[in-house]
Structure 1
Amino acid sequence: MKKLALTLFAVVIGTFLFAQSKKAEELVKFSVVKHNFGKIKQGTPVTYDFEFTNVSGKPIVIESATASCGCTTPTWPQQPVAQGKGNKIKAGFNAAAPGPFDKTVFVKVAGVDQPVELRITGEVLSADEYAKYESSKDKKSSK
C-alpha cells in the first residue's frame, strides 16, 4: 500500500511539474524581441511597440510588463487576447541621461513562470552632440 501511495504521489507531482513547464514563447509570438532606437536626442522620449500574436489554443492574459529601471515605462493589454489575435507591448524610454542604454522589459504571461524578455537599446546624445550627428547625416545624404 505504501508503494502504491508513493507511486501515485510521484505521478501526480510529475504531471503537475510537466504542466507548469510551458514556455511563454509557446503561447505568444513576438515579431521582434529587440529594438535599437539608434541615436536619440536627450530629453526626447521615444516609444516602440513590440507586436505579438497569441499562438496558443485559447485566450491568454498578459499579467504584467515590468522594466529593468524607472527610465523605461511599459504598457500592456489589460484584456485577454483571443486565440490567433494580436496586440502589443509598448516600451517607452525617457532619454533623460546621455550615453548608451540597454533596457529590458519582462513580460509575464498568466500560467507561465518564466517571462519573455524584450530589449530596447540605443544611445542618448546631448543637444549639441545630436545636432552634430544630424548635420553629418545631412552632409552624407547630399553627396
Structure 2
Amino acid sequence: MKKSLFLLVLLFIGVTYASAQKQAEITFDKTIHNFGTFSEDHPKVKCSFTFTNTGNAPLVINQAVASCGCTIPDYTKEPIMPGKKGAIEVTYNGAGKYPGEFKKSITVRSNAKEELTRLYITGQMTPKTAKTANN
C-alpha cells in the first residue's frame, strides 16, 4: 500500500513538472530603435519590433504601454504559436513637442517566461525649416 501511494505521488509530481515546462518565450530581433534625425516638418515616424516565440507554448501579448502619449504601440493580438513571429508597430508623433533628442519606452506584458520586456525608441527631431516670404 505504501509503495503504491509513493508511486502515485511520484507520478503526480512528474506530470506536474512536465506540464510546467511548457511555456512561451519572447525573443525580439532588437529592443532599441533609433530613428536618427528627422525634421519637425514631418514629425510622425514609425518602426517595427519583430519577435519570435522561442518557447513551446502559445505566446499572448497582453499589453503594450508607452511611457508617453506621443508614442503609440500596436501589437499582434492573436496568440503566436511556437516558432512563429509577431510584431509591435510603434508610431512616434513629435507634433507639438520641442525639437531635440528623445528616448521613450514601451513596456510589453505577455504570458512569456519573462513577463515584462521593455523596448526603447530614440531619435532627434530638428526644428522646422524657416520659410521665406516672397515680397
Instruction: Please classify the TM superposition score into its range, dividing by the shorter chain length.
Output: 0.7 to 0.9
User: What residue number does 1:14 align with?
Assistant: none
User: What residue number does 2:13 align with?
Assistant: none
Report which of the two structures shows the higher radius of gyration computed on alpha carbons. 2
Runs of 5+ consecutive residues of structure 2 not aligned to the other structure: 1-19, 131-135
Structure (1 or 2) with the greater helix fraction: 1
1:38-53 superposed matches below 5 A: 38-42=36-40, 43-53=42-52
Q: CA RMSD in A?
A: 2.2
1:92-131 superposed matches below 5 A: 92-96=91-95, 97=97, 98-110=99-111, 114-128=115-129
1:35 aligns with 2:51: no
1:84-95 superposed matches below 5 A: 84-95=83-94
Q: Do the aligned partners of residues 113 and 52 (structure 1) sit closer, same or farther apart at CA in structure 2, a change above 3 Å counting?
A: closer
User: What residue number does 2:17 align with?
Assistant: none
1:62-73 superposed matches below 5 A: 62-73=61-72
What is the rounded CA distance, in whole Å, between the counterparts of 1:61 and 1:78 in structure 2?
Answer: 7
State percent identity of aligned pairs.
Answer: 35
* TM-score calculated relative to the size of structure 2: 0.72
Runs of 5+ consecutive residues of structure 1 not aligned to the other structure: 1-18, 130-143
Structure (1 or 2) with the greater strand fraction: 2
User: What residue number does 1:5 align with?
Assistant: none
SS at match of 1:57: coil
SS at match of 2:129: helix
Instruction: Report how far residue 44 of structure 1 moved.
Output: 2.5
- The 8 Å contact of residues 41 and 95 in structure 1, kept in 2 or not, is answered as no
* TM-score calculated relative to the size of structure 1: 0.68
Q: Do the aligned partners of residues 31 and 66 (structure 1) sit closer, same or farther apart at CA in structure 2, a change above 3 Å counting?
A: same
- Partner amino acid for 2:74? T
